């Protein structure tokens, strides 16, 4: 028999990615994260102990196709476990290690779980992967102190100091690497609103260890953005895990400018970036700005399904500051971008717009919804290549919000259905635009803003704007009453995070009015889906965070979890009459703490039932 070993060490009950004190002898193994209810504070490590709700562990070795090849069952025996357990007789090859924590109550309930990165098992050598364990049905902390379990004194290369951000960008590449860039990293209170300045740091999230770390080349040069940017996009180049594209964004902006919401957006006075696109070389730790004809500010952006195009549309004109009519599709081929010869398809929108949301449909068309055209709400619009070097646009004037539903700016969008024949796009929240005296009014629970745009295709190639229609959608709750929120799909549901409800106290809403300042940033994270009738939204679960997160970054990691990072918990502008003082020291305007949202169905309790320790 080939002699191969897979080692599994329990390094203790670890918090926020923190390492055990005995880092030399317990360098690899399981890393248990804390729950967000604890505030992600580190607590003393209990070496060789399991969490109280784990009676035994099931370690499954999976091949690249996900087939189980070996199983190791470790009995907790009152939470005491051996320092190291070995899985022997494993054939050489490439594997992932899945570990599930089981509880005796309920006949074997899965309470914790995690999956390592892929690793190689070599003949006559011990393999010892790290598995970052997340709690079922809870919020597991990452970020924060961001300590690496391999080196207890390592602070994640300064993430706790430099990684704090709001309105940052992130992406999951085709190969599964997770990157985060930029965001507002500085908040300076002033009488006319909070002045926010962007940063340049780039981080990679190591899901197997639960930490975010800097990116360096062989010469220890650090990867950073070529210029500060927030409110931007980050896109992985197709088929390349070491090339990223940063697109759009601003260097600085003012949150809640004086006079909001009377004709002013909640984020205003933005200063644009010099190059709307830059190429990040992860392996070489370098960033290169790309000259483009684009000069719009706070434009909406989207990436095509195949990753070959990035689209920019609308925003504000850099000179006059009015809503822009410009739209462009930019080829994402990284090599050509660096050489300055990328393909651009340019066009003019049928309606200028600022505050729109956008996405690509399966037909290769860009859909724009929401926003203000300078005098009134902008109607939905489709943009597509016309077969030449320009773009064709189609305004859907008859398919705006249905009767009784307010048009909005800065809404969130989700695709309910899109098979090339029919498409249903959900529109959630945003700032109501139907009151001419307050263009960007605060979200209001008495003014419905949730609806669905329905599209049909007559030729199977593109959606027909003439048959577009809108239908009302019942949200069933006030959870959707927010603007500038992040929305990501998780399986058959959607997770919403961040956003704001009002820049004034609303004490009857969770998380509102509890931190110094006149604002309401809901701290709940709704997970919702379509109900059985398809005409209403229903809550799957609603988790309450310990803090608010305006400008949180949300990335789907797999079918059952998402990384939620950063955001603003409060900010320090003086009282509305101009008096007052900066917030107390306990208020943290921009947060670094992140967590992984885990769904109830993410852990398979059948694994626990099938693999019970013989001693039990």
Per-residue pLDDT of 306-327, as tens digits, reads 888 999 999 998 887 899 999 9
Query: What average pLDDT does range 48-59 have in this prediction?
Result: 84
428-466 residue pLDDT tens: 999 999 887 889 998 888 888 999 999 999 888 899 988
Lowest mean pLDDT across 361-365, 373-377, 381-385, 489-493: 489-493
Is residue 260 predicted with pLDDT exceeding 80? yes
Write down the pLDDT at residue 171: 95
CA atoms within 13 Å, Cβ hemisphere of 578: 3
Q: Which residues contact 614 (CB under 8 A, 6 or more apart)?
A: 73
- Distance, CA of 377 to CA of 171 (rounded, Å): 31
Write down the pLDDT at residue 548: 83
Highest mean pLDDT range out of 22-31, 39-48, 98-107, 516-525? 98-107
Tokens linked to 447 = 């003014």
Write down the pLDDT at residue 28: 53
Is residue 518 predicted with pLDDT exceeding 70? no
Write down the pLDDT at residue 4: 65
Is residue 24 predicted with pLDDT exceeding 50? no
Bridge partner residues of 501 (DSSP) = none
Map 425-484 to HEC letters: EEEECCEECCCCCCCCCCCCCCCCCCEEEEEEECCCCCEEEEEEEEEECECCCHHHCCEE
Q: What percent of the chain shows pLDDT beyond 70?
A: 85
Confidence tier at 62 by pLDDT (50, 70, 90): very high
Write down the pLDDT at residue 292: 81
Write down the pLDDT at residue 20: 31
- Distance, CA of 371 to CA of 354 (rounded, Å): 5
Confidence tier at 3 by pLDDT (50, 70, 90): low
Highest mean pLDDT range out of 72-76, 363-367, 509-513? 363-367
Is residue 162 predicted with pLDDT exceeding 70? yes
Write down the pLDDT at residue 347: 93
Bridge partner residues of 469 (DSSP) = 454
Confidence tier at 371 by pLDDT (50, 70, 90): very high
- Distance, CA of 329 to CA of 272 (rounded, Å): 19
Would the CA dihedral through 392, 395, 399, 401 be positive or negative? Answer: positive
101-126 residue pLDDT tens: 999 887 899 998 888 888 998 887 88
Q: Which residues contact 522 (CB under 8 A, 6 or more apart)?
A: 479, 482, 499, 500, 501, 509, 510, 511, 512, 548
Write down the pLDDT at residue 553: 94
Is residue 84 predicted with pLDDT exceeding 80? no
Is residue 95 predicted with pLDDT exceeding 90? yes
571-601 residue pLDDT tens: 654 444 444 444 555 556 788 777 777 665 6
**CATH match of 5-136+603-610 with 3.30.70:** no
pTM of the model: 0.90
Q: What is the mean pLDDT of the chain?
A: 83
């Amino acid at each position: 028999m080939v002699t191969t070993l897979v080692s599994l060490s329990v390094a203790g009950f670890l918090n926020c990615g923190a390492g055990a004190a005995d880092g030399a002898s317990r360098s690899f193994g399981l890393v248990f994260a804390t729950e967000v209810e604890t505030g992600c504070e580190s607590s003393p490590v209990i070496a060789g102990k399991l969490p109280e709700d784990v009676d035994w562990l099931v370690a499954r070795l999976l091949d690249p196709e996900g087939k189980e090849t070996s199983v190791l069952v470790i009995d907790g025996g009152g939470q005491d476990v051996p320092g190291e357990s070995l899985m022997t007789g494993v054939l050489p090859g490439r594997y992932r290690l899945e570990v599930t924590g089981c509880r005796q109550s309920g006949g074997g309930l899965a309470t914790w779980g995690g999956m390592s990165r892929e690793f190689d098992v070599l003949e006559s050598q011990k393999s010892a992967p790290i598995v970052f364990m997340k709690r079922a049905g809870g919020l597991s902390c990452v970020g924060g102190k961001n300590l690496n379990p391999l080196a207890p004194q390592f602070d994640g290369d300064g993430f706790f100091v430099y990684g704090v951000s709001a309105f940052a960008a992130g992406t999951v590449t085709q190969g599964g690497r997770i990157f985060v860039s930029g965001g507002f990293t500085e908040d300076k209170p002033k009488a006319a609103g909070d002045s926010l300045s962007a940063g340049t740091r780039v981080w990679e999230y190591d899901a197997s260890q639960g930490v975010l770390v800097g990116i360096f080349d062989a010469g220890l040069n650090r990867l950073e953005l070529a210029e500060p940017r927030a409110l931007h996009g980050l896109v992985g180049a197709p088929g390349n895990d070491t090339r990223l594209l940063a697109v759009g964004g601003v260097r600085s902006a003012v949150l809640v400018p004086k006079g909001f919401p009377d004709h002013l957006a909640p984020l205003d006075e933005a200063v644009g970036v010099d190059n709307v696109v830059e190429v990040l070389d992860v392996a070489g730790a370098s960033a290169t700005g790309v000259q483009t004809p684009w000069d719009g500010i706070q434009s909406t952006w989207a990436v095509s399904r195949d990753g070959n195009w990035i689209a920019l549309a609308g925003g504000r004109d850099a000179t006059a500051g009015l809503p822009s009519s410009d739209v462009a599709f930019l080829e994402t081929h990284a090599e050509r971008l660096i050489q300055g010869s990328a393909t651009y398809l340019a066009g003019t929108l049928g309606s200028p717009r600022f505050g729109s949301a956008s996405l690509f449909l399966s037909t290769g068309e860009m859909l724009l919804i929401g926003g203000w055209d300078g005098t009134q709400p902008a109607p939905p619009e489709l943009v597509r290549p016309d077969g030449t070097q320009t773009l064709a646009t189609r305004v859907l004037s008859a398919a705006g919000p249905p009767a009784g539903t307010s048009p909005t700016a800065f809404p969130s969008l989700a695709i309910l259905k899109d098979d090339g024949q029919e498409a249903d796009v959900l529109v959630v929240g945003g700032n109501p635009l139907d009151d001419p005296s307050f263009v960007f009014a605060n979200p209001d629970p008495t003014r419905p803003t949730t609806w669905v745009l329905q599209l049909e295709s007559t030729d199977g190639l593109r959606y027909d704007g003439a048959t577009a229609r809108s239908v009302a959608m019942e949200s069933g709750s006030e959870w959707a009453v927010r603007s500038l929120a992040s929305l990501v799909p998780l399986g058959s549901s959607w997770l919403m995070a961040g956003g704001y409800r009002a820049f004034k106290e609303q004490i009857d809403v969770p998380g509102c009015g509890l931190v110094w300042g006149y604002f309401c940033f809901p701290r709940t994270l709704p997970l919702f889906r379509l109900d059985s009738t398809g005409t209403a939204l229903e809550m799957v679960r609603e988790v309450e965070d310990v803090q608010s997160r305006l400008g949180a970054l949300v990335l789907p990691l797999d079918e059952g979890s998402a990384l939620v990072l950063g955001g603003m918990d409060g900010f320090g502008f003086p009282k509305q009459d101009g008096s007052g003082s900066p917030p107390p020291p306990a208020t943290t305007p921009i947060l670094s703490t992140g967590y992984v949202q885990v769904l109830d169905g993410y852990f398979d309790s059948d694994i626990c039932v099938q693999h019970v320790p013989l001693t039990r």
